[in-house]
Amino acid sequence: MHQQTILIAVPPLFNFQECLWFLNRNYDDCLHLVTETAVFKAIATPYGDVLFQVSEQGNFLKIEILEGVANPECRDFLTAYVSDWFDLDRDLLPFYMQLKRDSRLAYMAENFSGLRLMGISDMFEALCWSIIGQQINLTFAYKMKRRMVERYGRHIEWDNQVFHIFPEPAVLANAEIDVLRGMQFSQKKAEYVIGAARAFVEGTLSRSLIDALPDFESRQKALVGHKGIGIWTANYVLMKSFRAPEGIPHGDVGLLNALTGHGIIAERTEKDKIEAFFRDYAGWETYVTFYLWRSLAVKPLT
DNA sequence: ATCCAGGGGTCAC
DNA sequence: GTGACCCATGGA
């Protein structure tokens, strides 16, 4: 019998509740289940599908494997997976130093202390999700994602609940446009998602391909070369999946709203001011973006 | 009804 | 390279 529990030491400036809250917010994400004290998630691994739960135990994150293999290799995989998901290896202190130098955003270092940039380690998932989320409100986007995942993804049943796994590229590559349209995808959006899936199947797009490129600009360019991937989508993927600090989702409505809301810009068109703002946060562009997104959501009183 | 939402493509200049 | 315009579809 393999051990079912893994403990990961938590870094300084880490707040599990903040991370948990962001995973939940008020949206219906079909790819994890958040409770008061834990998050449940099912993923595909090289060792088969696994359902696990992450909670906090003292100064450790505790991963409990609920379904699927728990051999040492898979345990290592899950350890790396969760570390990446919660961005545990990053030292946030320099970021908080910068926030505190910025009178407009200094409060974030206190109010959101310990919030990590929650990632999407599967690049294909990050790409599909960002395509789905283009130009529509998030409530609707989560609804569309759920329909697609329920139709094309595998799942694990446990304790009378269903935990969905994001569909494989090979499955979505054979999806029919009309089926996606029935899920309220626009014609173009259906084409983009299926096109992305086919690119992954054909090998013209992959994590290793992007990883092999020398710098941020070339990675961005390689992504934008595909239909349906503009600057916003490319940078979103680079932010959430590759953790490139420079992956600012330029033009993002939420980002622009937060920038105006904090008095950093007066108009959405003030490109030079936006540039100057991010220059102050060099190396932390995506983190400050993430915290600005966080600031848009009002945390309910508990 | 009207404006908006974590954009992208196309096409003129 | 930049800007105007169109597209698409539900939320509030």
Domain CATH for A162: 1.10.340.30
Q: Which residue is nearest to nucleotide C11 (CA to C1')?
A: A137
Question: Do A236 and A134 belong together in one domain?
Answer: yes
Among A240, A263, A283, the domain boundary falls at A240
Q: Residue A16: which of A82, A68, A105 has the closest Cα?
A: A82
In this prediction, residues A144-165 reach a mean pLDDT of 97
List the beta bridge partners of residue A55.
A38, A62
Measured in whole angstroms, the distance separating CA A47 from the mean position of its chain's CA atoms is: 23
Which burial class, exposed, middle or buried, applies to A203 when counting CB atoms under 10 A from its CB (0-12, 13-18, 19+)? exposed
> Residues A59-108: pLDDT tens digits?
999 999 999 988 999 999 999 999 999 999 999 999 999 999 999 999 99
Phi/psi of residue A189, nearest 5 degrees = -65, -40
Range of the domain at A127: 123-240
List the beta bridge partners of residue A34.
A39
Residue A186 has pLDDT above 50, yes or no: yes
Question: Do A164 and A60 belong together in one domain?
Answer: no
> How many domains are there within chain A?
2
Q: How much is the pLDDT for A2?
A: 67
Residue A293 has pLDDT above 50, yes or no: yes
Question: Do A137 and A222 belong together in one domain?
Answer: yes
Strand B: which nucleotides have any atom within 7 A of a protein Cβ? 4-9
Active site residue A252: yes
Residue A302 has pLDDT above 50, yes or no: no
Tokens of A62: 């505790």
Question: Do A129 and A233 belong together in one domain?
Answer: yes
Rounded-to-10 torsion of CA A193, A197, A202, A205: 80
CATH of the domain at A82: 3.30.310.20
Rounded Cα–Cα distance for residues A151 and A146 (Å): 8
Distances (CA, A) of A151 to A132, A176, A182, A183, A193: 15, 12, 12, 10, 14
Catalytic residue among A49, A84, A102, A252: A252
Q: Which nucleotide is nearest to A189 (CA to C1')?
A: C8
Residue A180 has pLDDT above 60, yes or no: yes
